Amino acid sequence: MAGRIPDSFLETLTDRVNLAEVVSARMPLKKSGREYTGRCPFHDDSSPSFSVNPDKGLYHCFGCGASGGAVRFVMEFDRVDFIGAVEQLASQVGLEIPRDAEDPDARQRAALRALIAEADTLFRGALKQHPERDPAVHYLKKRGLTGQIAHHFGLGFAPPGWRFLYDQLATTAEAQKACLEAGLTTQGSAQREYDRFRNRIIFPIRDIRGRTIAFGGRVLDDSKPKYLNSPETLLFHKSDTLYGLYEARQANRVLERVLVVEGYMDVVALAQYGIPFAVATLGTALTSAHLDRLSRQTNQVVLCFDGDTAGRRAAERALDLVLPFLTDQFMVRYLFLPDGEDPDSLVRKEGKDAFLTRLNAATSAGDALLDLLEAQLDMRRMDSRARLSALALPKIARVPKGIYHALLMDALSERTGVRRSDLDERLESIRDSLPPIHVQPPVKTGHLDQEPVDTSALATEGMPPETDPPDHEDWSPAPSDVADFISADEAMHAPPERTPVPRLVMPIIGRPLPLASKVLWMLVQRPDLAVDRIEIPTHSELPNIQIVADLFLWTQANPNASTAKLVGYYSGTETGRLLSALLKTEPLVADQDLTREYQDALLNLKKQLVTESLKQLARDATSQSMSARDLHQALTAHRDKK
């Protein structure tokens, strides 16, 4: 039975593979001491900034920040999924991949994928040869789509009638249940099952590995709803899925930016006109899960909004989601379209070059924030300028500290005429009053960008049928086969659950690193150092301290991990971006001094934690009106305990 690839095999594979040989087989490298250098294949590299360290099994680009081990390099360079990369490397060193037994959920997911893949094939076949396909073909031609672009996106056709899929897929009671679970069929009031998608253009919704996990359908008549998506399933969660992301990754070696639009046809039409980096939300507003996913794929996101009042209201609402993601490495821009236009109609009317000109002139999220707030005020008045500060500062407080944050504060100072120092002082008081943001540490898997998602709070989409299907004498389905599907589970152990209060501070040239960042730098160089660790309270707000705690847990679960495995595990996360930035810094400690310096840093870090705890205890005592004697006793007891 196919299933999870054991961790022990992945460790053996990593040890056997020579990263320099893997990379040099795909691009030229030049030996430089113990390392190899070359031009980075993941961005337009004008000078060699790509470094390969075969001893650590790690590559890193000092230009774009790309980093990881052999598996990730093959995934990114060859554009294959995790399984494909492991298979290539295993074949290269003569290893056979063993697999553990699957868990029930994995088997169910595999069965659903196989069923949906078969439905996908049927929909595509119907667009090519079904007797009633002419209206669908005419509609696509009227929208200006070529057969090539329709094939690229895998467009299909759900014929009129109630049983196109049902008759071919629901061959047994078990298969009927599976079709319901996959969202391919639904039930009427008489408990009769029938196709969910009827007389619609079908848009396959793919995951990041290119597997179809759901469908979207657009009607060809006046039926309602105009657009219909698959319901939430074990495979499909619309709040974190983006239509067209897989196709955008395939069309762009380096996904420099992503344009977020509203509809399927916007994505397809833009690709038709040579703009193959658009994605669409699936009938929902933009979510933080969408932004998190995009931040793992690109450094710039452009959000597209209508230019009318409703569009500007939507832009204002999106800001609350966008602000916590704004960093020096990740940009979000706003593109407002002319009234009455959408990306599909506009690119057809103006053409590619004019649309790209609009796109290049998109407003940064920070400027959009101030513009939208300022539009409500008369900035000639002193009280309006004060009001702008009052409205903007609580929102800017949600932007992570860094150069972008500083520039945004400068822009607010310039617009209001308020001194920057006064704004900073007010901002700090606002920060102190904001509730901490609790996040779960990443649960990375062996699949690129396939973290588990908590769906407990997600609403399930179940569109009621317009009418029940008519009674039929013959409802017996035709036989069909369900293909086998091989899946793999997570490649490395996740650390035990922890709910940190992160305060992530990126390294800035010319400024000293926080002590926790120095510890992180040393752990990246030598993960085995984490055998010496200290207890870190979850309420500590020292810069980057919770990242240290997370690395302690991960290295405890992966005691023999290498630098490559550590960086690869966190790749694509906020922690990964921090570790990548730390790798770019100048060496802090010589190799021979690492152990001693690490132990000294831990001792000083523990002192900082004790001092922080004492200050918090003093603040609590003050708020509770504790007597001086009681406070002294509490502080003494706390110090002795530490």
Residues 408-437 have pLDDT tens digits of 999 999 999 999 999 988 888 887 666 544
Q: Clarify whether residues 215 and 252 are in a common domain.
A: no
pLDDT of residue 473: 33
In terms of Cα–Cα distance, which of 150, 106, 135 is closest to 5?
A: 106
DSSP 409-452: HHHHHHHH---HHHHHHHHHHHHHHSPPPP-PPP---SSTT---
**Residue span of the structural domain in which 366 resides:** 245-433
Q: Is residue 466 domain-resident? A: no
CATH of residue 278: 3.40.1360.10
Q: How far apart are CA 468 and CA 461, in angstroms?
A: 19
Beta bridge partners of residue 194, listed in sequence order: 186
Q: Are residues 422 and 524 in the same domain?
A: no
Residue 400, number of CB atoms within 10 A of its CB = 19
* Residues 215 and 304 grouped into a single domain: no
Kindly state whether residue 299 falls inside one of the protein's structural domains: yes
Position 320 in a domain: yes
Please identify, among 386, 407, 433, the residue that sits at the C-terminal boundary of a domain: 433
φ/ψ of 582, rounded to 5, equals -65, -35
* Per-residue confidence (pLDDT) for residue 433, from 0 to 100: 65
The answer to whether position 139 is within a domain reads: yes
- Is 66 in the same domain as 128? no
Residue 87 placed within a domain: yes
Looking at the fold, whether 155 and 54 belong to one and the same domain comes out as: no
Burial class for 641, CB neighbours closer than 10 Å (0-12, 13-18, 19+): exposed
Same domain, 54 and 184: no
Give the whole-angstrom CA distance, residue 596 versus residue 225.
67
Model confidence band, residue 55 (pLDDT cutoffs 50, 70, 90): confident
| Calpha distance 524→579 (Å, rounded) | 7
Q: Which stretch of DSSP H or E encloses residue 194? A: strand 193-195
Give Cα 618 distance to the centre of its chain.
41
Distance CA 351, CA 355 (A): 6
Residues 254 and 189 placed together within one structural domain of the fold: no
122 and 186 together in one domain: yes
CATH number at residue 575: 1.10.860.10
pLDDT band for position 612 (50/70/90)?
confident
The reply to whether 234 falls in a domain is no
205 plus 263 within the same structural domain: no
Q: How confident is the model at residue 633 (pLDDT cuts 50, 70, 90)?
A: low
Q: What is the β-pairing status of strands 258-261 and 300-306?
A: parallel
| Number of domains observed in the structure of the chain | 4
Q: Are residues 52 and 111 in the same domain?
A: no
What pLDDT is recorded for position 365?
A: 92
Last residue of a domain, one of 385, 410, 433: 433
Do 525 and 606 belong together in one domain? yes
* Residue 202 to residue 583: CA distance in whole angstroms: 46
* Last-in-domain residue among 41, 70, 92: 92
Residue 189 lies in a domain: yes
Where residue 166 sits, what CATH number does that domain have? 3.90.980.10
What is the pTM (predicted TM-score) of this model?
A: 0.60
**Same structural domain for residues 39 and 120?**
no
How far is the first Cα of the chain from the last one, in angstroms, to the nearest whole number? 52
Residue 449 included in any domain: no
Render pLDDT for 332-345 as a digit per residue (tens, 0 to 9): 999 999 988 889 99
